[in-house]
Amino acid sequence: MKRPLCVAVLSVCLTTGVFGQSPTPAPSPAQSPVDYDLRWGVKIPMHDNVELNATVYLPKKPDGAPPKTPVIFTLTPYISDTYHARGAYFASHGYVFALVDVRGRGNSSGEFEAFANEPRDGHDVVEWLANQPFCDGKVAMWGGSYAGFDQWATAKEFPPHLTTIVPAAAAHPGLDYPSYNNIGMTYDVQWFTLTSGHTAQDNLFGDQKFWRTKFLDAYNRHIPFKSLDSFVGNPSVIFQRILNHPTADAYYDAMLPGREQFQKIALPILTITGQYDGDELGALTYYRDHLANAPPEQRAKHFLIIGPWDHAGTRTPTDQVAGVKFGPAAMLDLNDLHRHWYDWTMKTGPKPGFLKNQVAYYLLAPGNSGANGEWKYADNLETVVANPKAFYLESTNGDANGVFHSGTLVETTASSHSAVHRGDGTASIPADQFTYDPLDTSRGENVEGIDPKEKTAAIDQTFALSIGKDGVVYHTDPLPNETPLIGCPAVTLWLSIDTPDVDLECDLYEIQPDGTSIALWGDVRRLRYRESLRQAKLVKPGEIVRCNFSPGLFVGRRLLKGSRLRLVVTAVNSISWQKNYCSGGIIADETAKEAHTCHVQVYHDAEHPSTIQLPLR
């Protein structure tokens, strides 16, 4: 799933299938490998007598004898034929490869319930494959997004013959899907339509004009989020089920490794994500949770790659996304890397040459010319992201409502921001204000619309330039030198509102000397979950509260000399997100009748130092 860099970029990712659990384009070699055999319609029995369907690709041996090799499999809701080219590739390079439809999809029996059955089913698939005559007893997994998630889900069940996993862009139920930090996504009904029934709905899913038109219509009509599935024409039992779980709870916990399971997962693991990957939050959360709980000898077997890519690029890299150019070094042959990883962990091959250290990350070149970036290496991610610099939000007379009369981001101590004392003895706390009107649909109509701007969204400034009284904007001074930005930005806001709740977003951009804008980072938060994603705590009117926007998302880019960094803070008001009407009630049920206009104050005084942590090096 694509992370919320900004509303414009997010809209592209939601509606093109880059965001979320969509199928990944197959590799396109100059000549498709043909040196393999096939078994179609293989049935794999589960613990409850459901049978999963598999297409099995087998390597040919020169003497015609049946193979006996490690087996790689992917467990997918996208119909096994989607990954034919992957199966052909790995079988032609000496591995049995099984494409397995999850229950209720493709030719598998049973009922599909997103994410729920994969832990136990994954375990059963591993053990069945391990006992087939073509398997030497070692089983590995391949895949990303949903098939990244189900690798972790399978690993937590500890099937004895699972030898290694390579989770790419792994979705994390309850965190980044089907909601993102507990904020629902309209994309949910698009994806649940893609995965409805047993067959593929790729053409319907890919009709971006239809989906954006529907989402815009629902936005303008203030359709309650719980009715969105029926509104688009596909009432969904699964969509209604997830609405009953608006926060991380036992329903999602059952799908994921817990602390004790992370402690015991001892497999070699290669985690892959990208700086523009919408499931970077999920991928890095699994990675950090494993390293936080596993003993040193297990941590030493967990490697991490953070490329520049978007969601699909974590399996089929491209050299640009939404107008941001990565350079040719980004075109890593991930099929080849996977193969060498499997050779190392399941055969007698050497360690992949690309993995020069535990962590590999891509540092984008300055500007946006397509110049080559470079791969950098580190012993661990914590060292790479440590010691960011604090910049304080500041404005003159509370004037920060727009790009052309913005506030500033200054590297000063919080003590320089003090209350202003009036003549009557009272004090005015320095603050900037903006207003969110849930009934205002101008942003959805005029900024987003039905054009996803697929090729330019990450360099488009329409959203930032539209900010007026509905948000605040802050800029740094121009950078005196070319400066690496390497790490995980984070924002802390001290706020007060006059409603019980509101959804907020923070977006960070590089504004280059020629005016080019590059989307770098973003996060969204529902204020009632400011202290915990598991427990709501409504805001008392006028109460000053702290909200952290600290998702741990990685940015690696050399910033041009003379560039400024721009921070936009506003309320979430988008066709891509569930709308918060600020009543403090059940948000999925809300309509225009429950709407409350929310006045937001962002404080920046010594007692309430709103800041952004910038990893400038």
Q: Tens digit of pLDDT for each residue in 2-61?
A: 434 454 454 444 444 433 444 444 444 445 567 899 999 999 999 999 999 999 999 998
Q: Are 81 and 55 in contact (CB under 8 A)?
A: yes
| Residues 568, 463: Cα–Cα separation, whole Å | 10
Q: Are residues 443 and 548 both part of a single domain?
A: yes
Q: Does the pLDDT at position 581 exceed 80?
A: yes
- Whichever domain contains 520, its CATH number is 2.60.120.260
Q: Are residues 420 and 280 both part of a single domain?
A: no
Q: Are residues 410 and 298 both part of a single domain?
A: no
3-state SS class at 81: helix
Q: Which of 309, 343, 364 is the last residue of a domain?
A: 309
Q: Are 346 and 268 in contact (CB under 8 A)?
A: no
47 falls within a domain: yes
Asked if the bond preceding 178 is cis, omega within 30° of 0, the reply is yes
Q: Are residues 300 and 413 both part of a single domain?
A: no
144 falls within a domain: yes
Looking at the DSSP bridge assignments, the partners of residue 558 are: 484
DSSP 530: S
Q: Are residues 456 and 550 both part of a single domain?
A: yes
Q: Are residues 301 and 395 both part of a single domain?
A: no
**Residue-by-residue DSSP string for 155-195:** HTT--TTEEEB-EES---BTTTBSEETTEEBTHHHHHHHHT
Looking at the DSSP bridge assignments, the partners of residue 613 are: 390, 490
| Residues 496, 601: Cα–Cα separation, whole Å | 5
DSSP 396: B
481 falls within a domain: yes
Q: Which residues of 177-204 are buried (b: 16+ CB within 10 A; e: fewer)?
A: bbbbbbbbbbbbbbbbbbbbeeebbeee
* Torsion sign across C-alpha atoms 380, 384, 385, 387: positive
383 falls within a domain: no
For 180, half-sphere exposure in the C-beta direction (CA atoms, 13 angstrom radius) is: 30
Q: Are residues 591 and 454 both part of a single domain?
A: yes
Q: What is the pTM of this model?
A: 0.94
Dihedral through CA 27, CA 33, CA 35, CA 37, nearest 10?
Answer: 50
332 falls within a domain: no
CA distances from 325 to 169, 322, 365, 459 (A): 20, 8, 9, 10
- Average confidence (pLDDT) over 406-419: 73
Q: Are residues 108 and 256 both part of a single domain?
A: yes
The boundaries of the domain holding residue 293 are 25-182+246-309
Q: Tens digit of pLDDT for each residue in 325-349?
A: 999 999 999 999 999 999 999 999 9
Q: Are 549 and 525 in contact (CB under 8 A)?
A: yes
Q: Are residues 423 and 294 both part of a single domain?
A: no
357 falls within a domain: no
Q: Tens digit of pLDDT for each residue in 140-163?
A: 999 999 999 999 999 999 999 999
| φ, ψ dihedrals at 162, nearest 5° | -75, 125
Count of domains forming the chain: 2
Q: Which of 287, 309, 331 is the last residue of a domain?
A: 309
Q: Tens digit of pLDDT for each residue in 299-321?
A: 999 999 999 999 999 999 999 99
Q: Are residues 157 and 291 both part of a single domain?
A: yes
- Whichever domain contains 55, its CATH number is 3.40.50.1820
Q: Are residues 284 and 402 both part of a single domain?
A: no
Q: Using 50, 70 and 90 to split pLDDT, how confident is the model at 291? A: very high
Q: Which of 275, 309, 343 is the last residue of a domain?
A: 309
Q: Are 267 and 161 in contact (CB under 8 A)?
A: no
117 falls within a domain: yes
Q: Are residues 293 and 409 both part of a single domain?
A: no
49 falls within a domain: yes
